[in-house]
Chains A and B, each alone.
Chain A
Amino acid sequence: DQQVKQNSPSLSVQEGRISILNCDYTNSMFDYFLWYKKYPAEGPTFLISISSIKDKNEDGRFTVFLNKSAKHLSLHIVPSQPGDSAVYFCAASEYSGNTPLVFGKGTRLSVIA
């Protein structure tokens, strides 16, 4: 059973507009969430994270929102740029940090110029 779900395999957005990538989780033991970005022919790279004690974390154009009651998080990219075109993975971690990160299947974002 998938504990971290990214229900949209792909998303297409115009340059300059907002991109919203969604992620749902089922395990209530998760208390830390991360987003990774992956370009073709490269490994995933860490983008932004959020602890369950917060509901928002911002880093430049990237903001992650967490709704614990709904077990839902989202990544907002404003404004979207063509260089943001990549696959984005949502990942979750349990309290101890000694268990592996659990990844979603990813969402492919295409930003059209």
Chain B
Amino acid sequence: EAQVTQNPRYLITVTGKKLTVTCSQNMNHEYMSWYRQDPGLGLRQIYYSMNVEVTDKGDVPEGYKVSRKEKRNFPLILESPSPNQTSLYFCASSPQGTAQKFYGYTFGSGTRLTVV
């Protein structure tokens, strides 16, 4: 089954303790992206990647890091989490170029992160 898999689904952590949220896709998509969803703010892009070793900042990159060493994986790293990073996070992938316009993004099921 074609899918985007995020882990963990739920995570409660303490301020300052480094964490990684994993994202993996099995559709051979070039493009991958991370979003956070907050009440009243919709989906805001954190980082995206056009292909392996190519990453770029989205709208709200502060406090986050990403890496794209393999095509299928795109982990989101919070080096020193803070309470304002409490949110619902989504990973997404899509084909590159014009194919993206027609097929849109495939999203993972989300990771609910709470930083206390």
A interface list, Cβ under 8 A from B: 6, 9, 31-32, 34, 36, 41-46, 49, 51, 89, 91, 93, 96-98, 100-101, 103-106
Contact = CB atoms under 8 A, between A and B. Distances in A.
B109 interface: yes
Contact of B4 (A32, A43, A100): A43
Given A42-B110, A43-B90, A44-B43, A101 B50 contact: no
Contact of B100 (A42, A51, A97): A97
Q: Chain B at the A interface: mostly helix, strand, loop or mixed? A: mixed
A89 B42 contact: yes
Given A46-B103, A100-B58, 4 more contacts: A93-B100, A97-B98, A103-B35, A105-B40
Interface in B42-94: 42-43, 45, 48, 50, 58, 90, 92
A91 B7 CA distance: 26
Contacts, number: 65
Given A43-B4, A89-B43, A104-B42, A98 B97 contact: yes
8 contacts: A6-B42, A36-B107, A44-B90, A49-B104, A93-B101, A96-B97, A97-B101, A100-B58
Residue from the set A32, A41, A91, A101 with the largest chain B CB neighbour count within 10 Å = A101
Contact of A97 (B43, B48, B92, B97): B97
Contacts of B58: 100
A105 B101 contact: no
A79 to B, nearest CB: 25
B55 to A, nearest CB: 12
Contact of B101 (A32, A42, A104): A32
B15 interface: no
